[in-house]
Structure 1
Amino acid sequence: MVSGRPGNGELDSWFNSLMLSTTSERGQAENGGGMPTLSGWKDLPMELLMRIMSIVGDERMVIVASGVCTGWRDALGWGVTNLSLSCEKDDVLPYPFLNVFTSESNLSSIVKLTKGPCDVALVVYLDKCKQNMNNLMISLAPKFTKLQVLTLRQNKAQLEDSAVEAVANYCHDLRELDLSRSFGLSDRSLYALAHGCPRLTKLNISGCSNFSDTALIYLTCRCKNLKYLNLCGCVKAATDRALQAISQNCGQLQSLNLGWCEDITDKGVTSLASGCPDLRALDLCGCIFITDESVVALANGCPHLRSLGLYFCQNITDRAMYSLANSRVKSKRGRWDKVKAKEEDGLVNLNISQCTALTPPAVQAVCDSFPALHTCPDRHSLIISGCLSLTSVHCACALHPHRAGRALMPSHAY
């Protein structure tokens, strides 16, 4: 019987012994040396089990391993850092249904473990969205305390505040969380995350329409390392007041989705531009109240901006476009520190669909200033649909056919 925590040398000895021996249950070394012995597979130390699982090529073997005993199941749970719960209707279910990580007989689930260089990722597929995601998450949270990435995306809202609170109570090292389309969640969830998961760097709460800006502000005061935040459709949470809090608390923010948050005005966006200079992707689609002031502030305050969505922002005029074009000129003259005037820098995606007040000269100026913006086939990174007056705007590929070939190469835009 093996007891205690093995040292690195002893762990390597056990590992090498098991790798070399295919017939002996005792795992003796080929030279008959004094290798440690194991009385049974259930006695494998957790560290050794995790090393074995990390090199198993067949994922079904990992599933079988998780069902050997409680110790093995707990060991695998201890090593899981990436968990994704999916209830997509079209999920391909590669293995027979297993109830591995929960004792609830009504949970039909499949467990799939994939290995990375330093961690184990777990994907659980729910059978036909049987309204069990909330209970399943409550059951799993205490077992997976090492989680860093958690995806709870769903087609049909099942999550309740109790599940998010369970995550916050046990998964204190969580860095990335996707709660998109969780319509049933309330401010309780955001308050719980603020207290239990202060290391969050990526949060997707798109479609969570019940959150208030007060709860979001509280979250930003506690989770100051946020770099990616998706608030699309969070009409109550995404307000000017919330954006001011984000600009004050989350200076490392790089990506923000504010799509269809209709109450946002220039006041919120300008504060964001001044407080988040590292912003690289901003979606303002459907923010109908913003004007040129917002774009001018972004052009002046966010030199790393690469993607900007202005769909249906019909108060945007040529002044906004010229401010973007001029920001490129400023960067070439070295007025901004740490900005290199390379072709791949600057805007690579710009959506100005339905911005009907724009004229061709202004948009062409932006297109000329940022060579990565394309109107050519198969690479429409300058989106102008719905603007019939802009049909004469063309990227450089139209003048230099040899560049069109390069445009067909995959884009690595942010």
Structure 2
Amino acid sequence: MLSLFGFLTICVFLGLILTKRLSVLLSLILVPVLFALIGGFGAKETGEMVLGGIKQVAPTGILLVFAVLYFSLMIDAGLFDPVIRGIINLAKGDPLKITLGTAILAMLVHLDGDGTATFMITITALFPIYKKLGMNKLILPCIVALSAGVMHLVPWSGTVARALNVMKTDPAHLIIPILPSMIGGILWVLFVAFWLGKKERKRLGVVQLDYNHQQELSDEQKESRRPALFWFNAVLTIILIAALILSLAPPSALFIIGFAVAILVNYPSQAEQRKRIQAHAANVFSVSIIVFAAGVFSGILTGTKMIDAMALSMVSIIPKEHAGYLPALVGVTSMPLSLVFTPDAYYFGVIPVLKTAATHYGINSIEIGRAAILGQMTTGFPLSPLTASTFVLVGLSEVELSDHQKFTFKWAFGTTIIMTIIAIAFGAISIL
């Protein structure tokens, strides 16, 4: 019976959010609470499971809040402006250099893990250049999408935060083993940028270009820039990322301290500090509140033992002789499923079941999480019609979503396939 209630919870949850009859936030809270009560669990017991789930995701929620604030602050201060100027100066109207520069810029900007911000910054900065040169307008959103996709594996992105939450682990165990895959993905994206740029250079040749990035900034953006503090911000960011990778302290603590130092040095007056925080408050709130709602969902499914019951049902269906391929299968299918499942539906509805099933088969369950983030709403999110940032990308690029998907899908799927192969080769996911 618990298995039935578990599957009904997930199906109703998926149905409500895919048909947009109820928001993700409310679905994550109301659906599991309803089925817990129907399943015979009392109000007090259900409430305790809700609080238990929230406590489990609290570190992830705090990490997201301060990581997004930190990198948003670095963008405001102009940390990436020299990179933009450098790309323009080095490219000198050469389509090949521009496509490579686009990939590098998008990867650097996407260190904040926010797709919308990445698309707004990179497309706004580079679209006029592509337009002046007469380059294929599908190439810019393609390269930016691929670059953001592979960099979306940073521990503070919304997708990885969901995976960390579901897998009940930390970045050191989830992310470090797939760093070779991430490096391979980055090299693949640079290859694609080189390939597409070479074709455009052959078609257009090298064109004389006169373009000034600073003239494209708004008055508010110019006012928030801190060019004198560039090296301070660069060193601080490098130290912060190194400390995160080396696990010198909990990620949330690192970003809390990093943000406090950064905003104090860059914007010493309290009025400036309030203005910068308020500028990003809506984005921070919308990301973090989902994490706590997800805690309710996972807390109830775990506390009621519905997850265990569903996993046992799956164990009886999946042939034991093929169970060892489960992590690899998750990796290969992860990117295409971004077009079908929202990150919440996939990570909170599908992965918990696969995770527990893997445990029953003697597979290290964390491999399911590693395989999932190789594509599902990482390399796949900039093509998915289920994410708002995708429409920001195609809208600013002045292309149709269908055209973008047709042009970019093979390259994005290729990124996931390459990263999955590397993950298997390096033992991050196994084939038993």
Task: Tell me which interval the TM-score lies in, with the shorter structure as reference length.
Answer: under 0.3
Name the structure, 1 or 2, with higher relative contact order (CA <8 Å, separation 6+).
Answer: 2
Could you say which structure has the higher helix fraction? 2
Higher Rg: 1
Q: TM (normalized to structure 2)?
A: 0.19
Q: TM (normalized to structure 1)?
A: 0.19
